[in-house]
Chain A
Amino acid sequence: MNQTPMLEVRGLYKYFPVHQALADSLMRRPHSNVKAVDDVSFSLARGEVLAVVGESGCGKTTIARTLIGLEALTKGEIVFDGKLVNAHSQQPHIGLKQLRKRAQMIFQDPYESLNPRATIFEIVAEPLVVHGMIKDRKERVAAVKSALDDAGLRPAEDYFMRYPHELSGGQRQRVVIASAMVLQPELLIADEPVSMLDVSIRAEILNLLRDLRQKRGISIVFITHDLSTVAYFADRIAVMYLGRMVEIGPAREVLQNPQHPYTKALISVAPVPNPRLRRERVILQGETPNPINLPSGCRFHPRCPVAVDMCKENDPQLIELKQGHQAACLLVTKS
């Protein structure tokens, strides 16, 4: 088995400059930024599923878009299969086009992610066209057919000539998945792939992803705001808060033995299938602060139920608690 991690992210930052009001620039106030991703590091082994969990606005989509190169990163390194992404360095590196052949992204909104004027065949075949692969017409049809088959759209031929608006949300997301899988990628970045779908179809799509992963050993970064879908098939869970990962560890560990107060709060309010695991609900007070003016010290302190004085001054780093289980909280120490 290849030991090189599929993906390694080191000190990733993504700041969006905020448009300044005229008065501000006249006063020479410093430029402010939306700190959407603020120093994030993690790695993903081959065949592993990492779930990235967090509230709306914590920077999940931004991480996904940066990974696939849709956003230029502000600082940091992304290493794909041992190669630095989109860098012109002495180290081994990989270009965006090459990366996009081996890694694919699934977007949150299946209603918006398909070109309304393209047929399902064109959509699924597009990655092949773009990368100039499987040029033979017959083989291409076969590849598209098997991708649609695998995505659970059967009989595939019935879908070839249809248009996105003729399909339901669940079917569209299957088309997106088929299109993502047609190149047989090694890495899949799934940004809340089921959050826009009816609850009744969510399980089907999740099952589909799980099957694909079992059949093909594909690595997945699975982004979600919903802890209950995570328990489903993640190997590891990373919990994000305001652009930072505050806890990361094996899925079981994080769900059953959460360390960070934010993770605890999230889990306490998540619908857990097993009532024995139900803890006292921790309802967080206040709004998520905006990522332009981050709170001083620990960014969670204004809402943290157990915050102490030092939390206002010290910004906690991730520390290793147990094998592979890390949390960033001043009150959490190695056991």
Chain B
Amino acid sequence: MSENGNLFLRNLAGFWKTFRQNKLGLAGGFLVLVAVLVAVFAPALTDYDPSDIIRDANNRALTFAPPEVHGILGTDDAGHDVWSQLVFGSRISLVVGFMAGFIAMFVGSALGIAAGYFGGAIDSLIMRITDVLLVIPDLPLMLVLVATIRQMELKISPLAVLIVVIGLLYWTSTARLIRSQTLTIKERQFVARARAIGAGHWHIIRKHILPQLMPLIVANTVLILSTAILIESGLAFLGLGDPTKPSWGTMLNFAFDRSAISNGAWWFYLPPGIAILWVSLGCILLGNVLEEMLNPRLAAHHLEGEAGMIAIADVESKG
């Protein structure tokens, strides 16, 4: 593996050189990085616990207090500190989004590789499943699934249910992308040579197919993350989050439930909305730029002359 690491590091340096020039990519990376840092350092960013009830001088709960009266973003209908909810909510939103995204990426890549590499009946089966999943509207399906699993009272954390449902339904686009790329890689001569040497399927997939797909998978994962975060927010907004561990979506749900809008408590509903927008915009910007740079299907001109993460070098030296 150390030999691979070597290439990876050198590619990373070249990659960074190109990436640095891309303003949109930098902006996306900045947005994502800030969100991740907030989630990691949440306790240091606030003096309150999201479940603390803020009280006034008469020991009465300070409800719907605007930012001028309390803290950074005021309080909600029950007197909780909104800023601390927002900061700690980032952990829930990001963890659910990231874990669901990684499951989707993992399932999508595995199925995409299997379909593209083995073809035949396996391919047809996997592609039929993706077709079905693509035509069923996702949000209603997930609603039904999450609600049903909840009903069964399986003693699974509601967040785990969300993660698994999103992860297991959101792999179709990844699978299609990876499949089509696998189909091209499979036809390349070094794969034929590996077979002629006597390599088995597992060896070929691990050593010859996967390394070429890796950049694409990385780019795609970032894009999937934004979708997963949005979906989590949507489901939580519809009341399917974990009320004891509020994510940004759950906050929005509370805000709408407790008539924050009619109370004019913008500090209650705007911040989680902006936070969701912040992260998904960041992921989309970053993901698109990465994809553009790393997907061999899209024009490779970004990396011209650079030691890019994809094997442009060998394409170039040929032509």
Contact of B199 among A104, A117, A122, A130 (CB under 8 A): A130
Chain B interface residue count, CB cutoff 8 Å, equals 27
A136 contacts the other chain (Cβ, under 8 Å)? no
CB distance from A71 to the nearest CB of B (A): 10
Q: Given A112-B189, A112-B190, A118-B211, is A104 in contact with B3 using a C-beta cutoff of 8 Å?
A: no
In the assembled complex, the Cα of A176 lies from the Cα of B197 at a distance in Å of 11
- Interchain nearest-CB distance for B155 vs A (Å): 45
Number of interface residues of A (CB under 8 A): 34
- The answer to whether B313 touches A105, judged by C-beta atoms less than 8 angstroms apart, is no
B164 lies within 8 A of chain A by Cβ: no
Q: A68 contacts B190, CB within 8 Å?
A: no
Interface 1/0 per residue, A91-111 and B, CB below 8 Å: 000001100110011010101
Q: Chain B 193-227 against A: per-residue CB contact (8 Å), 1 yes, 0 no?
A: 11111111001000110011000000000000000
B3 touching A164, Cβ below 8 Å? no
Is there contact, CB below 8 Å, between A165 and B311? yes
> Residue A113 at the B interface, CB < 8 A?
yes
B314 at the interface (CB under 8 A from A): yes
Q: Cβ of B314 and Cβ of A165 under 8 Å apart?
A: yes
Q: Report if B317 contacts A (CB, 8 A).
A: yes
* Contact, CB under 8 Å: B207 / A100: no
Nearest CB in chain A: distance from B103 CB, A: 26
Which residues does chain A contribute within 8 Å of B193, judged by CB atoms? 105, 107, 113-114, 176
- What's the minimum C-beta distance from A64 to chain B, rounded to whole angstroms? 9
**Chain A interface (Cβ < 8 Å from any Cβ of B):** 65, 68-70, 96-97, 100-101, 104-105, 107, 109, 111-119, 121-122, 126-127, 129-131, 161, 163-165, 176, 179
Ranked 6 nearest A-B pairs via Cβ:
A116-B311, A100-B198, A165-B313, A112-B189, A116-B314, A117-B211
A-B contact pairs, 29 of them (CB 8 A): A65-B192, A69-B196, A104-B196, A105-B196, A111-B318, A112-B189, A112-B190, A112-B318, A113-B192, A114-B314, A115-B190, A115-B208, A116-B190, A116-B212, A116-B313, A117-B4, A118-B208, A119-B6, A126-B199, A126-B207, A127-B198, A130-B194, A130-B198, A130-B200, A131-B198, A165-B311, A165-B316, A165-B317, A176-B193
Binding site for A on B (CB under 8 A): 3-4, 6-7, 188-190, 192-200, 203, 207-208, 211-212, 311, 313-314, 316-318
